[in-house]
Structures are given as structure tokens and as C-alpha cells.
Amino acid sequence: MSRHRSKRTPCEDTRVSGLVVQLLTTEWTKEARGGPGARTRNSTPPALVLPKVMTQPEDAPFRLHHVYFSEQRSFLPRQWTDVHRGKPFVEVEAFRVEHADDGVRVLLDHGKMGLPGSLEWSGGARGQRHEALFHLSPGEWGRGVYNERIQYWETGHWGYCKHVLNVGLLEAADLDVFLSTRPDHEAIREYLLRQGGPAAPGSRSARLHIVAS
């Protein structure tokens, strides 16, 4: 009697290589600045598992994974992916990720940040104040963080955002690489966001850990 060979499903390759960008944005209003609302929005994660679609195509210049948490949706994540081609750089919020000869550079455009109390970062200075946050070599990943206060022009009210950028120049990494490993580089620019006061005490170039409240 002949035997029937079992048909096994080939193992799916869920490792990711190449340049991958993950941006997580949390947006809230003054209603969530304190109490239970603050605890909820402060609990949004700094990283999530990359979707399987990010494993392909490896030759794409920029593969982007966007995650958005809003007070309006009770800070539940809304996710989508994108692929950018045709340029040696990509801009997401005030972050700029660009190819360098030997890796990747990540910069922060202070001209695109909503920083209260700092006139030099508005108007004519918009887009002209690039701060180099870190440089990635193959196999490394880094994290950049900044927060901002923004005005809703249709209502005149103020809102707040925190942006977390995870960037990896990966080599056969697991999809949870931004969760299961520590970043090789990290730059945090969190400011005390007051409606009428300075955006940040001390030097702007310093590594800040002042949480928006």
C-alpha cells in the first residue's frame, strides 16, 4: 500500500531587512492633560510589531509604518503602511530620514515643530533649522522623540502631539525588533508645553526628558 506524503506549508519568512521607518503619533487636547486622560495617553507604546507587509520589497528606498493614537478614538491605534520612492530622503512630521554614503541620517526640522514661545522657530525660519539626531550603520536602529503644541485653526483651540520615530537599517531582523531590542541610538526632545511660556528650559540641543503635562 502506498503512503501519502504529508504536504507541509513552507515556513513563511517573517524577517525584515533594509531601511524601515515606523512613526507613532499620539494627539490629545487639554481634556487629557491630567487625570485619567493623561494616564491613558501616556500609556501609548513607543513601538509596535511591524506588519508582515514590511518584509517586502527589500529594495524599496523607504518602507513606512504609521501608527496614530488620538483622544477622539480613545487612543486606540490606527495603522497603515506606505512605500516612498524617487527621492533619497523622506519627511514624516518634523523628522527627515535620508540616505548617507555609509548608512542613514536622521534629522529634526525645528522649523516644522509647533513650539510655543519661540518666534525664531516660526515664519521665515520654517524648514531651515535641521538638527542631526543620529546616524545609522547597517544592522543598527535608532529612536527619535519630540512633542509639540499645535493650534486647530478652525476652532482656535490648542492640541498636543508626541511623535516617536523608530528607524532601522535592518539585517534579517524579527518583526518585533523595535520592541524586543534596545535602540543603538536615541534622541529625545520633549518640552514643557505651556500655552504662554517658553517651549523648553535650558539648551535646545540638550537631551531632554521633560514630559509634556
DSSP states along the chain: -PPPPP-PPPPP--EEEEEEEEEEEEEEEGGGSSHHHHHHHHTS-S--PPPGGGGS-TT-SEEEEEEEEEGGGTT--EEEEEEE-SSSEEEETTEEEEEETTEEEEEEEGGGS--TT-GGGSGGGTT--EEEEEEE-TT-EEEEEEEEEEE-TTT--EEEEEEEEEEEEEEEEETTHHHHS--SEEEEE-----SSS-S-SS-TTS-------
pLDDT of residue 205: 34
Residue 41 forms part of a structural domain = yes
Confidence of residue 212 (pLDDT cuts 50, 70, 90): very low
In a domain, 199, yes or no: no
Domains held by the chain: number: 1
Residue 117 in domain? yes
Its domain, for residue 135, covers 15-189
Residue 10 vs residue 166, higher pLDDT: 166
In a domain, 123, yes or no: yes
55 part of a folded domain:
yes
For residue 98, being part of any structural domain is answered with yes
Whether residue 110 is contained in a domain is answered as: yes
pLDDT at 76 over 80: yes
- Give domain status of residue 59, yes or no: yes
Give the best-scoring range by mean pLDDT among 25-39, 87-101, 120-134, 147-161.
87-101
* pLDDT at 120 > cutoff 80: no
